[in-house]
Structure 1
Amino acid sequence: MRRAGETWSAISRALGVSVSQLILWSRDPDAVARRRAACHRCGNALLPRMQYSALLGFYLGDGHISRAPRYYRLRITCDQSMPGIIRDVVDCIGAVRPSGKIFLSSHPGAVDVISNWQHWPCLFPQHGPGRKQERPIALEDWQRRVVADHQAHFLRGPFHSDGCRVTNSTCKVIAGAPKRYEYPRWQFVNASADIRALCCWALDLAGVAWRQSNPRVISVSRREAVAALDALIGLKS
């Protein structure tokens, strides 16, 4: 249209695009192609599989993607008292989206780790309207292969975001005297049956025994299973 002699104003009215944006496009016509190339799915960027597996777990545990006029916003909510987990999420996002900025937004008791990008739905096709527990959540084949190869990193996401490591205690009478026993356990709490099933699938892949202790809670409580999960994902910090 410009080569045909149209003015910027006429092109802007015809396409519904601002004059300033049209001028930017004309000065750098390859910008859109470069941004698309940075995507790991519709472009040719190499996916950092370990960090992506962990970020997928964090997203399913306590993450959210929202639509803005020019991009999608990935938000992972972290416990404010766990700076190690906040750094972990920042590092994972930085590895997956190395050229983007990462923002931290604090509110009472929590810190949101935020990254804006047009291509987040390409990497997280589970994104959709409404809450995750109100819609089906299923991994695509390429995501299942990533998790199968890096199940420990994936498990770090749900257990470090929507999970906890607690110490239970019991009292038994031994030789006529009460004796107190304490033992640790991991628990993952999520309202989505699909997400709980993905967590259990990854635990099975890792050879970690689990049980469903109530309709929303997955527990890892056997001594050897807790030790194995500790070694796989580390303690929350």
Structure 2
Amino acid sequence: MYSRTIVDETFQLKAQGLTDREIAARCGVSIYAVRHWRYGRRRNPETEARRADRTMYCPKCSDGKLNHEAYAYLLGAYLGDGHITLGRRDVYVLWIHYDNKYPQLISYCTAAMEAVFPIKSFKAKRPGSVAIKGASKHWPCIFPQHGPGHKHSRSIVLEPWQQEIADEQSEALIRGFIHSDGCRAINRIPKRRPDGGATHYEYPRYHFTNTSTDIIEIFTRALDRLGIAWKIHVNKRELPLRNAQIVSISRKDAVAKMERIVGPKY
């Protein structure tokens, strides 16, 4: 095992512009060792610091602090269209799914994920969509709603500390819900003109659809807190969300608030 002094010297020489081969020759080490250190796989000081801090950033396992706005957004996105899987070495992976036609929302979610935990997210492309992924052993610590089976098949209740953040950051929570699994649509109502001709009246509305009544309640509680009027009805026809609850926001003043909170999807 090489000393810390030699490892540090290789980084100093790299900063001076030397090649990996020149650094290896000058320090008397193999080029493979230099490349390991350079790419963060062995004794890179920054990597060692991150490894030592793997638990410190978790608010449950240590005294880590959550970015409340970013967490509220990520919570809405996770409950709307996300899930957590267990990968190798007991590392959990958070997946949030977005349509490929919304690159700005993908960037928004990526930034929120990396603001919640000091990790490097990555993307898994699918036909027509992309999954934003982040690996950490501590996702279940801040998303205790994780469990086996679909979210609508089990109870989804926020813990008191989560509810405090959701109430404090209701706008970010709503934004996460709508960005991940909601929509803004134009409703058209047929209307006859005085001359007997046909026309139609258009107005925008927001929809959020979910098969979990608990998730619907979390979403509508945030709407209530901000004074946003909503109605709910059950989808009786369309698969695969038949019998899912649809929250509709269509009153002019309520839509205006949603336009300000959610912003354009692009």
Give the structure-1-normalised TM-score: 0.84
- Distance in 2 separating the partners of 1:114 and 1:227: 32
Match of 1:139 in 2: 158
Task: Give the AA of the match of 1:127.
Answer: H
Deviation for aligned residue 1:63: 0.5
1:121-160 mapped onto 2 (5 Å cutoff): 121-160=140-179
Per-residue CA deviation, residues 166-186 of structure 1 (Å, 9 max, x unaligned), is 101112224343342101110
Secondary structure of residue in 1 paired with 2:79: helix
Match of 2:255 in 1: 226
State the identity %. 40
- Distance in 2 separating the partners of 1:87 and 1:31: 23
Aligned match of 2:93 in 70, 73, 80?
73
- Distance in 2 separating the partners of 1:86 and 1:35: 25
Deviation for aligned residue 1:84: 1.0
Report 1 or 2 for greater relative contact order, CA contacts < 8 Å, sequence distance ≥ 6: 1
Gaps of 5+ in 1: 1-23, 25-29
Task: Give the AA of the match of 2:255.
Answer: V
Which has the larger Rg? 2
Secondary structure of residue in 2 paired with 1:39: coil
Aligned match of 2:202 in 161, 164, 182?
182
Task: Give the AA of the match of 2:136.
Answer: W
Task: Give the AA of the match of 1:224.
Answer: D
CA RMSD of aligned residues (A): 1.9
Deviation for aligned residue 1:33: 6.4
CA 1:31–1:199: 2 relative to 1, 3 Å: closer
Equivalent residues, number = 209
- Distance in 1 separating the partners of 2:185 and 2:50: 50
Per-residue CA deviation, residues 144-195 of structure 1 (Å, 9 max, x unaligned), is 0001011000001111111111101112224343342101110001111110
1:151-230 mapped onto 2 (5 Å cutoff): 151-177=170-196, 178-214=198-234, 215-230=244-259
Deviation for aligned residue 1:218: 0.6
Give the structure-2-normalised TM-score: 0.75
Match of 1:42 in 2: 61
Moved over 6 A (4+): 30-33
